[in-house]
Chains A and B, each alone.
Chain A
Amino acid sequence: MYDFAYHRPGSLEEAERLLSGASDGALVAGGMTLIPALKQRLASPSDVIDLGGIAGLSGISEAGSTIVVGALTPHAAVASDAVVTARFPALAALAAEIGDPQVRNRGTLGGSIANNDPAADYPAAVLGLGATVRTNRREIAADDFFTGMFETALEDGEIVTAVSFPVPEKAGYAKFPNPASRYAVVGVLVSRGPAGTRVAVTGAGPCVFRSAEMEQALAGDFTAAALDAVTVAAEGLNSDIHASADYRAHLVGVMAKRAVAACG
């Protein structure tokens, strides 16, 4: 790891200023992705700006029919939060299955979606629930946020502050975890609620995506059996040492059915 100048701003404004003043600045939240990347020299920023000292970026609040999760809220806090477990058990269950306990104690929602790893879990929740990403500058609809492999709509200097999730009538998540890392070989989140009937798939392709065919099938009949008629094409899906595209396509169908069943 190359050395860098470390900063711990006390406000978003100061973080923005530091970021725009740095020749190559990087934000750090939980560090569960950034620090391994620094060690491998995949990233070598001049300045690392720690969001951990900014008050108000962590925590969960209920605002009518939405639940707002601060960008710095660690996965473990989402998994055990009383409001989330009561009103939105699928989100708590998803957070509880990320990595291992130590990763969940440090890793954050904001870091996970800003990074947009093709096999990460939270992108499926944000897209599959039609959530809204809040930044220091604007609000971004989930459908516009995830733009490609490790790519998002975030601009230079933009900082995720929170994600607002509409509370669904029904939601379920099922993943086939990589046995070593627990990242999703395939993960599917299904939901029905204020954002319509949505199916978001992570792990299978280069970026999280919605399945229009499955959404149509479930819109008429929200049961696992309704998905029998849908075949998932392997074209465009990932093939790697963990799974072939064909196998991933098969898993998308299986995980989608399990996710519907998990809605209870």
Chain B
Amino acid sequence: MLAVSMTVNGRKVSREVEGRTLLVEFLREHLGLTGTHVGCDTSQCGACVVHVDGASAKACTLLAAQAEGTEVTTIEGLAKNGELHPVQAAFKEHHGLQCGFCTPGMVMSAVDLLKRNPDPSETEVREWLEGNLCRCTGYHNIVKAIRAAARAMAG
């Protein structure tokens, strides 16, 4: 067992974990933050995407120990003072989800995109979502939601 410490959604946390404990297990099982999903567990689907020091990463392919000392943001950390993040609000408004399983990863991935590229074209959004799979929506409304969020965030 080893002690790992990091900041998750602004809160400092420390836990004893095994070397093999994945970041996604740490978040879900040790911290009870079950918003981050596990879809494939093979680095393909993006349901587990969180931000590590501001960059999106697949939490199923990262050891908790590798995230020592970092700032991690999960889907639970996006809303501020009870108000949805503009990307979350846009997914709701534009029906960017059906079953919702892929949604936390989609939203976290999209937030990273808009930080790097505040006004992405449709093609750029689709290319960025290469690592996020959705079995329900056909992506169309997801792309629409992300572009609407970009406009909302530009004010």
Interface residues of A (CB under 8 A from B): 1-6, 8, 28, 31-32, 35-36, 38-39, 48, 50, 52, 76, 99-103, 105-106, 180-182
Contact = CB atoms under 8 A, between A and B. Distances in A.
B19 A6 contact: yes
A99 B131 contact: yes
Given A6-B65, A36-B42, A101 B2 contact: no
Contact of B62 (A31, A38, A48): A31
Contact of A8 (B57, B58, B65): B65
10 contacts: A35-B62, A38-B20, A50-B63, A99-B130, A100-B130, A101-B113, A101-B131, A102-B46, A102-B49, A106-B57
Interface centre among B18, B112, B130 (most CB of A within 10 A): B130
Contacts of B55: 76, 105
Contacts of B65: 6, 8, 50
B61 interface: yes
B112 A36 contact: no
A128 to B, nearest CB: 24
Interface residues of B, number: 28
A36 B19 contact: no
Q: Which 4 A-B pairs have the closest CB atoms?
A: A100-B131, A6-B19, A100-B130, A105-B55
Contacts of B14: none
B63 A6 contact: yes
Interface string B66-109: 10100000000000000000000000000000000000000001
Nearest to B67: A52
A28 B130 CA distance: 24
Interface string B3-16: 00000000000000
B41 interface: yes
A48 B65 CA distance: 11
Interface string B132-144: 1000000000000
A106 B52 CA distance: 10
B126 to A, nearest CB: 12
Given A28-B63, A106-B57, A106-B62, 14 more contacts: A3-B19, A4-B19, A5-B19, A31-B61, A31-B62, A76-B55, A100-B46, A100-B130, A100-B132, A101-B109, A101-B130, A102-B57, A103-B131, A106-B58
B130 to A, nearest CB: 4
Contacts of B57: 102, 105-106
A101 B56 contact: yes
Contacts of B130: 99-101, 182
A188 B23 CA distance: 36
Contacts of B62: 31, 35, 106
Contacts of A101: 56, 109, 112-113, 128, 130-131
Nearest to B113: A101
